[in-house]
Structure 1
Amino acid sequence: MRVIHIITSTDVGGAQIMLSRYLRALGSSRKSHSVIALMAQGPISKEFLSAGIPVHHFGLSPGAKSWRAMLDLRHKLATESPDVIFGWMYHGCLAALIGRVGLRSTALVWGIHHSLADIKAEKASTRMVIRMMAALSHRVDGISYCSSTSRTQHEAIGYARDRARVIPNAVNAAVFRPDHGARARLTELCGISKSSQIIGTVARNHPMKDHVAMVRTIAKLRANGRDVHGVLMGTGQANGPAQAEATVLGIADNISCLETRADVAALVPAFDAFLLSSAWGEAFPLAVAEAMAAGVPCIVTDVGDCAELVGPTGAVVPPRDLAAMARALSGILDLTPSERTASGLAGRARVAERFSFDPYIAAHETFYANALDNRRRACVPAMPTAAADPNGQKTERTERPEAGR
């Protein structure tokens, strides 16, 4: 089965990383997959290429609109003639819909990796794309969501219900695992006192991640006499809003902001607690699943499927509630080292049992097969059937497949 994945960018983000790891996990069958990115080459491109996965970039800038690029996309897809076109992220999904025009036998599927607690929180241009996709979703042969909450929220604004399914993200617990040497590596890298407890997160700098709230929570803990140090890893963190807020609050020496790193799996196990402070937008945060696999107790805001992800192994707090974040962190940090280890291992067991790659891969194979079945039914020629006219005479009428099928 030939599958082409169309994604907004190959920058570092949850959807991009998930696509890269999924294709790598396919083993030799990944040779039937390729990737198209709408924007210029990003760091994840190297991961695709090193695994022998072809990747093509159209080089669009953020917010740019190019009908020429869409014509080139349609030409490329027509030349490749894949069995399935898989759109990832909103703009990748919309481009996939445009690019599929004319390929009647090619199945089109979308992958949604965002939640919509409040669509007004999104940029105006993103809101327009989201609503446009809702109106066009009946033309798609399959829609996958990485969280049940995301599916419910999108269907509430009009996304097609009859061909949707939830496929949660997956994590490789053999890569993300407890590592007793991680603490020495991280404390040396960031100059952290050996006596400090480390509260960490891994995420790009973006308003929806609300890292200012994380810094303010750490300041609150320090004001209560706790020796804690915050570590934020991700694109845009160096000299970003979190670091600026730490300076304003007088705790700049207690916050370390690192750019994207290739050795995240070797550093995350050093955290005493992982804090996801996101205010909106999360569906199934991969970084939380990775921290759980690494044996780190997690505190998450109640956004998307975060509560379902951590279950009883972590703590769930309302978004933007600094007092609740501080209380939850205190509860984790007050545990003895052995109790905290036991809590972390419970999270690791949950991830290994529920969110491993084998069921993730199998779910996508079924997803593609169902989408192709939907597409074949859509291509069945209209069949004439007998119908009675108002005078009781039989006439010919044409039965047509349901729109989009």
Structure 2
Amino acid sequence: MKVAYLLTQDRGGPVDVTVRLAATLAASGEAEVRVFGPLPARGAELVADLHELVSVSSKGDLRAGRQAREALRDWQPDVVHAQDRRAGLVSAGLRLRHKVVQTYHGLPDDVSEAWSRGTPGAAGPSKYTRTVLAADAGVARFVHRTVVPATSMGEFLHRRLRVPARRVVHIDNCVEIPEAAPPSGPVRRLVFVGLLVERKGFPVLLDALAGVMPDDATLTVIGDGPLRVAAEQRARQLLPGRVTFLGFRPDVAHQLRLHDALVLPSLLEQQPLVVAEAMAAGKPVVATDTGGVAEMLVDEAVLAAPGDVEGLAVCLKALFAEPDPGRLGRAAARRARERFAPEVCARRHLALYRDLLAGG
């Protein structure tokens, strides 16, 4: 079996998942694998022998899209798997010659959690975003299967975008599974990982910490984005000298091991990789109840409503006071090995590809 993965971006969750999945599937000997797209910012060494440079810098670049499809056709894969929104648009045109799969990694930024869940009276997204979602619906109805890492996203595709349920498959994301390093004492070193954009809810985190953060606690911020300058100013006002901004880092897994717990105050997520990475590292997680986060953490869930400063502060206060955070970390690490190991992810994708090629 020949499996081609298509990317149109060089960083972010879809890229990290693709790199890990492609490398694991290739190492299994069950498939011949190639990754088409820009050079990944993280983990490029894992797919160095599998990578072919392809660039589609915008969805309006029709020429680049045609060139990408030609590169894929030349390799003659049995399955083409698109791993981001633009890649899905490009790959849909290959449906008649190849089995085409896409992974639906997330919603546009101005879609609210309430609207995505169908809450009555919830404000909807902009006209532009509705156009994007209409295109998403068209692609999902056209390709052979759409993979969703969170069941809530499958429900959204079926309920909101009218995608037939039989075309949607739930497969968890995958992350590296290192030796767990749960905290050995009280949680004092928090870490936030994510883009500094409105959807990630970072101002909510600062406001929540301002009233409950112990004097000896710190927060490390990994990530960059348009709100970084404002975030740094706000951090100096609320928590002077206790928040460190590291910017984009390719070594997130290592950075997680240096801290006691992860906090993710997002307003909208699907199945955030950083939560799976923190779990794999044996770290407790405080997060918001958005997308598939609750089903990732299950019994160890410490969740607040998206945008709820007071609720998040209560969760953080409980985490700082937890007498045995290592217990939470060890339970999270066990769940991560069961659900998010690359071998598990590769096995489930391989079963999907075989089913499609057999006419399923």
Say whether the fold is shared (TM-score over 0.5). Answer: yes
Q: Secondary structure at the match of 2:326?
A: helix
The answer to whether structure 1 residue 34 and structure 2 residue 21 are counterparts is: no
**Aligned match of 1:167:** 171
Larger CA deviation: 67-76 vs 232-241 = 232-241
Q: Is the 8 A contact 2:35 2:47 kept in 1?
A: no
2:260 to 272, 297, 304: 272
Corresponding residue SS for 1:178: coil
Cα deviation for residue 334 of structure 1 reads 0.5
Q: Which runs of 5+ in 1 are unaligned?
A: 184-194, 376-405
C-alpha displacement of 1:358: 2.6
For 1:347, give the aligned amino acid.
A
Higher deviation after alignment, 265-274 or 339-348: 265-274
**Deviation at residue 268 of structure 1 after TM alignment:** 1.2
Asked if the contact 2:101/2:144 (under 8 Å) is kept, the reply is yes
User: Contact 1:246 / 1:255 at 8 angstroms: preserved in 2?
Assistant: yes
Who is 1:313 aligned against? 300
- What residue in structure 1 maps to residue 9 of structure 2? 9
Render the CA deviation track for 1:210-253: whole Å, top value 9, x for unaligned. Answer: 1121122222224xx64421111124499444223213x24241
Alignment partner, residue 254 of structure 1: 242
Q: Which moved more, 1:160-169 or 1:21-30?
A: 21-30
| Greater Cα radius of gyration, structure 1 or 2 | 1
Q: What is the distance in 1 between the residues matched to 2:286 and 2:125? A: 24
- Over 3 Å counting, the alpha-carbon distance change for 1:348 and 1:122 in structure 2 is farther
Contact 2:181 2:281 in 1 (8 A): yes
Structure 2 residue aligned with 1:228: 217
Q: Deviations over 1:145-192 (max 9, x none)?
A: 00100100111121232222100112332x2620789x9xxxxxxxxx
- The Cα offsets for residues 48-106 of structure 1, whole Å up to 9 and x where unpaired, read as 543x111323151xx561111122123222222211111112221111113x16xx341
Matched AA of 2:338: E
Going from structure 1 to structure 2, the CA distance change for 1:269 and 1:74 (only over 3 Å counts) comes to closer
Equivalent in the alignment of 1:388: none
After superposition, what is the alpha-carbon deviation per residue over 1:258-312, rounded to whole angstroms, capped at 9, x for unaligned? 12323333331332321110001x1111111111121211111111110010111
For 1:286, which of 267, 273, 279 is the aligned residue? 273
Q: Does the CA-based 8 Å contact 1:238-1:257 persist in structure 2?
A: no
CA distance in 1, matches of 2:354, 2:30: 17
Contact 1:141/1:374, CA 8 A, preserved across alignment: no
Question: 2:233 maps to what in 1?
Answer: 244
Matching residue within 51, 55, 58 for 2:52: 55
- Equivalence for 2:134: 131
1:315-334, Cα deviation, whole Å (9 max, x unpaired)? 11100111111111111111
- Partner AA of 2:174 in structure 1: A
Aligned equivalents of 1:244 and 1:124: distance in 2?
A: 33
Question: What amino acid sits opposite 1:283 in the alignment?
Answer: Q
- Say whether the 8 Å CA contact 1:213–1:277 is kept in structure 2: yes
Aligned to 1:107: 99
Aligned residue number for residue 70 of structure 2? 75
TM-score normalized by the length of structure 2: 0.87
Measured in 2, the distance between the counterparts of 1:325 and 1:200 equals 15
What does residue 379 of structure 1 align with? none
Report how many residues are paired.
347
